[in-house]
Amino acid sequence: MGRTRKSCCCIFLVILVIAALIAGGIAYAVLKSKKNSNASANIADESKYAEALKVSLQFLDIQKAGKLVNNKVSWRGNSALKDGSVVDVDLSKGLYDAGDHMKFGFPMAFTATILAWTILEYGESMKKVDQYKPATDSLKWITDYLVNAHPKDNMLYVQVGNADTDHKCWDRPETMSDKRPVSQINKTSPGSDVTAETAAALAAASLVFKKSSDDTSYSEELLKHSKQLFSFADKYRGLYSASLPKVKKYYNSTGYGDELLWAGAWLYHATGEKTYLNFVTGKAADDYADMDNPTWFSWDNKLPGAQVLLARSSFFDEEAGGNSVIGNYKQTAEAVMCNVLPNSPKTTSSKTDSGLIWVSEWNSLQQPVAHAFLANLYGDYMKKSNNKKLDCDGETFSRDDLRDFAISQANYVLGKNPEKMSYLVGMDGFGDKFPQFVHHRGASIPADEKPSCSEGFKWLESDEPNPNEATGALVGGPYLNETYVDARNNVKQGEPTTYSCALAIALFSSLTTTHDVDKSLS
């Protein structure tokens, strides 16, 4: 009996081993299949992000003022050719801010900074999908305007058009007839926020054109203006919306310390000069950096961007990396990451049920797109520097976790949402539709019509879809309950902006290919 039991046991053990091997083989095959499937999905997604990048860049062409060059938008033409003529300055270029015909220098400069940052970090990805030149062309269209807006020291033109008057009209930019006054800040009416943001834009762009052009004179010109503007912003401190109270209704600034740090960081990257490193690690850091307190990146708050940009120095700059204050910026940048990672102990409650970061009912997509870009960029810094772990209160996360978060926000924008709607006009994405009633004057009026200021309102009130597609427009986005009302009068949800478009370009560029950032921006 004993021998029989032992034999049975041996046979049973053999069967168990064989079963385990078979199960293991099946599990491995399933896992391998799943990994291959995910890899295929990621490849497919990358092609979709490349398409989204191409579509997004077209909106910048739609928003261009001035005498258009190689215009590919059939329903757009020359406009605002006399902008700035009242002060003998050519302010005809630049971008219209949103669905109106205003040129607000503050968000326009932010648009340029983000576009330049994107080109610097992901220019190689852009080149692979033939979007590098469209991006640099649009950047130069803005920087040409910003340079002209700074005709002399301690003065900057920051607005073209009267917003109150402009918003009483519904017409095409090509036929607008209302007066186009200009507004400036100067020593007695300072604006450190808009001036420093302009300095940041020109410093970042100087690096782009230093790399992309055989002629370095334009890059040098941008850097010269950037330095002068930073000095102006620092020496004559004040809020531009205090100097120009009427702008509070449209782009009220809540502080200028973040822009000073942002501009100082960009000038350090552009020049390598210790003066700017000392600025961002000195008293200005004590006064404005708000260390260890994650906030939301936007046209008004540059702190998260500055923290990530200065964390870059901690990863790749031996000289700056040893600075303890730079280390604090890196620590705060990590807090920004922990705030948005969905499984982090520090994750924000400011999100929808489907996981979209949601901060404001006005232009709700700005923050999720902005932070998705920052997260993926920070993950790329980790990958390039071989930093494998991000610690969030004892829980560790990887570069892939940051990329997964970025993908989740991008996919939501492109249609993986309860509405099954892509919020990027001109692209169905993962959904089955995109907005047809975008709050945008030029898109809503037939190209062969020439209505006066008041005559055009019949197209605002029309229940017909826009006759012209505002391709690449990223609309404001869903409410907290994840609903979206596609109506032309729904300004909160349906009006696109150039700065949100720039952030979308940044996000899609970062996801277009699996790309390592360069250690140096210069």
Calculate the CA dihedral of residues 97, 102, 105, 109 and round it to 10 degrees.
Answer: 20
Run of H or E residues at 396: strand 395-397
User: What residue type is 161 in one-letter code?
Assistant: G
- Residues for the chain: how many in total? 522
Q: Is 439 a catalytic residue?
A: yes
Residues 6+ apart with CB under 8 A from 118: 126, 135, 502, 505, 506, 509, 510
DSSP labels, 442-495: HHHS-TT----TTTTHHHHS-SSPPSS--TT-B-----TTS-----TT-HHHH-
178-184's contacts with Cβ under 8 Å and 24+ in sequence apart are 178/453, 180/80, 180/82, 180/83, 180/86, 181/86, 182/83, 182/84, 182/86, 182/87, 182/89, 182/91, 182/157, 183/157, 183/158, 183/159, 183/244, 183/247, 184/155, 184/156, 184/157, 184/158
Collapse the DSSP code of 356 into the 3-class scheme (helix H, G, I; strand E, B; otherwise coil) and give the result. coil
Q: Are 436 and 465 in contact (CB under 8 A)?
A: yes
Closest of 318, 251, 248, 320 to residue 285, by C-alpha: 320
**In 3D, which of 103, 75, 86, 91 has the Cα closest to residue 162?**
103
Q: Nearest Cα to 266, choosing from 212, 198, 328, 218?
A: 198
Choose among 80, 62, 82: nearest CA to 72.
62
DSSP string, 58-88: HHHHHTB-BS-SS---TT---B-TTTTGGGT
Q: Which entry of 150, 225, 371, 439 is annotated as an active-site residue?
A: 439
Question: CA angle, corner 430, sides to 426 and 433, nearest 5?
Answer: 45
Cα–Cα distance for residue pair 390/333, rounded to 1 Å:
11
Coil, helix or strand at residue 385: coil
Question: What's the token pair of residue 465?
Answer: 């879809």
Structure letter (DSSP) for residue 214: S
What is the edge-to-edge ordering of all strands in the sheet holding 103-104?
103-104, 155-160, 182-186
CA atoms within a 13 Å half-sphere pointing along the CA-CB vector of 324: 2
Q: Which residues are catalytic?
A: 439
